[in-house]
Structure 1
Amino acid sequence: MAEETPYVPRLAIGLVHYPVRDSKQKTVATNITNFDIHDIARAATVFGVEKYYIIHPMKEQLMFVDRVLDHWRTGQGSKFNPMRKTALGNVKAVESVEKAFEDWNVPEALTIATTARTEWAKHKYSFAELRNEMHVAKKPVFMLFGTGFGLTEDLIRSSSGVLESIRGAPPKDYRHLSVRSAVSICLDRVMGPW
């Protein structure tokens, strides 16, 4: 008897560089880093993410992403490291969160913000609850990750809900992960085969 193909939930992620907050809670745009392009793309590929959007309003920053992607998809990098080419296949740079939603075009998707500022949330999802929504209820999800000091209040309030924050080990409960690490942990918890 043939083995049944397991269900893979529909998931897109967005790395938001604008609108995000700085240390004084002002709305700013942060710079895109080469590490975030590569490392998050690799985690997204491991965990079956359909699309990874890098969101920034500045043309120069989007052009930087496109140059990196071109190098690894069609340039010398594609011959040097085919695994990297595979990982970067579903990455797209866009000008806004709205453009990312429009491009993915899954209107019924839950929009889940990641933040430590849960007081702004419509609904607070535990990892187990969101995993159930994705794997059992089969709801598609668009998950947003903020750079800088996190997503803005407006963006969090406009989301379907927020995902519980990643907690550090007691007694310190240190919570200052790189966004690359946070994305990997979140993807493993909601998409991992455990």
Structure 2
Amino acid sequence: MLNDVRIALIHYPVLGKDGKIVSSAVTNLDIHDIARTARSYGIKKYYVVTNLPAQQAVVRAVLDYWVEGSGKEYNISRTEALQLVELKSYLEDVIDTIKQETGKKPLLFFTSAKKRPGSISYEEGARIIRETDRPVLILFGTSWGMPQEILDMCDYVLEPVRASSDYNHLSVRAAAAIIIDRLIGEEV
């Protein structure tokens, strides 16, 4: 169901370099660039998920400037993209919001740079998204990826963008753009 595809950029919980659960920093570029990709592909909502008040303040400052402030007059296209962004503290908050809005639990897609057992192809993911009557939520992790606890919540795991590459370290904004294109393409 392409009319209710949503994405979430997870900053907590994510894995640190040592494999322990951490909160990662929000970047201005991720907010802007992923929002622009979301708007270009007809994504319904882009959730930025961070539990840290200081990082939430960063997101709010970006949104205040571009959606409510003088950035709106400077670049209306940027405003249009950033209007899709919604700040949440936890993934569970995102899921609860979608359930409240739609009356249905979203179908969750886990993304990772690592090959995982049971992962599905983008062709299969695109087919599932087009055929489901549930809202779809595609999760993107920051830092060294999302932990097992998030994987366990998901309905599907997508194959990595470059599973066979000897260098598999795309920025999350590049990976999000590629994955969204592979799943939705021109069928907005």
Work out whether the TM-score is over 0.5. Answer: yes
Q: Equivalents in 1 of 2:151, 2:159: separation in Å?
A: 13
* Structure 2 residues without counterparts, runs of 5 or longer: none
RMSD: 1.8
Is 1:110 aligned with 2:101? no
User: 2: distance between equivalents of 1:173 and 1:48?
Assistant: 33
Shift of 1:64: 1.4
Alignment of structure 1 residues 180-191 onto 2, 5 Å: 180-191=173-184
Post-superposition CA distance 1:50-70 (Å, at most 9, x none):
110000111121121111101
Q: 1:149 aligns with which of 144, 149, 154?
A: 144
SS in 1 for 2:42: coil
Aligned equivalents of 1:76 and 1:58: distance in 2? Answer: 26
CA contact (8 A) 1:9 1:135 kept: no
Deviation at 1:101, TM superposition (A): 1.1
- 1:148 deviates by 0.2
The answer to whether 1:100 aligns with 2:97 is no
Gaps in structure 1 of 5+ consecutive residues: 1-6
Q: TM-score, normalised by structure 2?
A: 0.91
Larger Rg over CA atoms: 1
The amino acid of 2:32's aligned partner reads H
Aligned to 2:122: 127
- How big is the shift at 1:139? 4.4
Give the total of aligned pairs.
184
C-alpha deviation, 1:179, in angstroms: 0.2
Query: Does the 8 Å contact 1:10/1:141 carry over to 2?
Result: yes
- Aligned sequence identity (%): 35
